A and B are shown apart, each in its own frame.
Chain A
Amino acid sequence: MTDTVLDIRDLSVFYGNAQAIDGISLSLARGEMLSLIGANGAGKSTLFKAICGMVAPRTGAITVKGRPLAGLRPAAITELGVAMVPEGRRLFRSLSVEENLVLGGYVKRPGPWTLDRVYSIFPILRERRHQPATALSGGQQQMVAIGRALMSNPDLLLLDELSLGLAPVVIKDIYALLPQILGEGLATILVEQDVTRALSVSDHFVCMLEGHVSLQGRSDAFTHQQISAAYFGT
């Protein structure tokens, strides 16, 4: 019995003739958090899209808990236990806060996350539950996006740019809640522009540059200069 939740082997993704990901391999076990860092256009969001089934890899394989994702539609991948907090939150604008959260649990996987549990982590959302989700502040919208992803009781959580567009104090609050949120044995990949913050909360990191891995390892195993060089390709 393996604890590996996600395994990616030699993954390549193209948009037309443009290669967005070039032969990436990585794996992630239950309870681990991996930071995925890299400049804009490095291929981080494309990797998330490939895991979620929103783009089809040209070569390579992705497996979740030993199950190959090739040919599966996004909905089927969600049923396997993959959830994503997308960049920019992308809440459903015609749905209330509570409706967004309930829709997150559409696949009804068994697990600890319920509406009450999400409200207990983010009490403000209970107060605002009948308001349109997009009428909330940026930080509160990010709470809805996180809660919505958790409602499917995922085994693998993909967090894309958690701090994008948020005030520093809000980012601090959200990151303070992460251990509580992720303490359920979730495997998590965090994409974050704030590299220092990302490395401080993760066990491992992968640095991407122009579609390939330029550096990877334990978060505390490299100097700032080494990570900078891998990040900028210098």
Chain B
Amino acid sequence: MDWINVIIQGVLIGGLYALFAAGLSLIFGVMRLVNISHGDFIVGAAYVAFAVIQMTGLHPLVSLVIVVPLFALLGYALQLGLLNRVLGGDILPPLIVTFGLSIIVQNGLLTLFTADSRRLDAGAIEVESLNLMPGVDIGYMPLMTFVSAVAIIAGLQFLFYRTTMGRAFRATSDDGEIAQIMGLDNRKVFGWAMGLAMAVVAVAGVFLAIRANFDPFMGPSRLIFGFEAVIIGGLGNLWGTLAGGIILGVAQGIGAHIDPGWQLLAGHIAFLAILAVRPRGLFPRVD
């Protein structure tokens, strides 16, 4: 029964990793931008939720009503005001700029909130669980995180394949130059994509902050989990990203069950093994 429990808990934490990865996958898919500051913005969202809760007394999940639109606007402004200026044929300038952003966000959070680790208190729901069978319990919070990840990825999938905005994303990703002569303004399309990615980042940040302590410097490790989930799943495939998150979560769970010190290592080994066998990930987008 232990192993069933390990697998189930791994699947559930995979939902959180998929949330880390979805925004990363989205912006890479649309504008080929590798956002090094993605993990720091996840932590930034956790801190913004923390500040909102301090000011308003809202429940962490209710704070999403404020944090998500705030981050969507931040993403749109960041893209139009900064990142569009460095996007082009060369991949290096956006890498350097987002690396710089990562440092700015980390040190900004340190200045504003100190190095003390924080946590969002979601109340009794954090410890309540559903008993599936003897020895196998599912916590409501992990379940809610997983269901949110599935819902967000389904929503993004719908947006990509059933809406005008999604057509604009795919067309710009396929051929940005021709998309422009169809009347699409790439700068705005990229702005929408970054706004959407940052909205997902906000959700990821709040769920992360309810699950575990956070501090200003934990962004890069979230970025690595996100990258691994995206690459395991296959670049450009949102459902693949969810699968990548689950595989990473289960691998970490198995590693931790064997020896607690092996948790992270097991995830990285699974990532490397999949990369060695399927360099484009398990479910790459078919062009």
Contacts and interface: CB of A to CB of B under 8 A. Distances in A.
Asked if A pairs with B, the answer is yes
Interface of A: 52-54, 73-75, 77-79, 82-84, 86, 90, 92-95, 99, 102-104, 106-107, 148, 152
Looking at B178, B181, B285, the one whose CB has the most chain A CB atoms below 10 A away is B181
Contacts of B174: 92-95
A92 B185 CA distance: 16
Nearest to A152: B183
A92 B178 contact: yes
A81 B38 CA distance: 40
Contacts of A107: 182-183
Contact of A95 (B167, B183, B184): B167
Given A75-B184, A94-B173, A102 B178 contact: no
B170 A90 contact: no
Contacts of B287: 93-94
Contacts of A92: 170-171, 174-175, 178-179
A152 B182 CA distance: 8
Contacts of A77: 181
Contacts of B179: 92, 103
A74 B181 contact: yes
A86 B287 CA distance: 20
Looking at A75, A77, A79, the one whose CB has the most chain B CB atoms below 10 A away is A75
A80 to B, nearest CB: 10
A53 B171 CA distance: 18
Looking at A54, A78, A103, A148, the one whose CB has the most chain B CB atoms below 10 A away is A103
19 contacts: A52-B181, A73-B180, A73-B185, A78-B181, A82-B181, A90-B175, A92-B170, A92-B179, A94-B170, A94-B285, A95-B167, A99-B167, A103-B168, A103-B179, A106-B168, A106-B182, A106-B183, A152-B182, A152-B183
Contacts of B128: none
Nearest to A51: B181
A69 to B, nearest CB: 13
Contacts of B285: 94
B180 A54 contact: yes
B170 A95 contact: yes
B48 to A, nearest CB: 33
Contacts of A75: 180-181, 183-185
A103 B167 contact: yes
A80 B183 CA distance: 10
A209 B236 CA distance: 44
Interface of B: 164, 167-168, 170-171, 173-175, 177-185, 285, 287
A77 B180 CA distance: 10
A107 B168 CA distance: 12
A104 B180 CA distance: 10
Given A94-B285, A103-B179, 17 more contacts: A52-B181, A53-B181, A54-B180, A73-B180, A75-B181, A75-B183, A75-B184, A78-B180, A94-B170, A94-B171, A103-B171, A103-B182, A103-B184, A106-B164, A106-B183, A106-B184, A107-B182
Looking at B173, B175, B178, B287, the one whose CB has the most chain A CB atoms below 10 A away is B178
Looking at A54, A92, A99, A152, the one whose CB has the most chain B CB atoms below 10 A away is A92
B159 to A, nearest CB: 14
B80 to A, nearest CB: 14
A83 B185 CA distance: 15
A92 B173 CA distance: 9
Nearest to A77: B181
A152 B178 CA distance: 14
Can you list the 7 inter-chain pairs with the closest CB atoms, starting with the nearest?
A107-B183, A74-B180, A78-B183, A92-B174, A75-B185, A106-B183, A94-B170
Nearest to A145: B178
A83 B182 CA distance: 7
Contact of B167 (A78, A83, A102): A102
A102 B167 CA distance: 9
A60 B178 CA distance: 24
Contacts of A103: 167-168, 171, 179, 182, 184
A83 B181 contact: yes
A215 B182 CA distance: 32
Nearest to B169: A94
B280 to A, nearest CB: 16
A106 B286 CA distance: 26
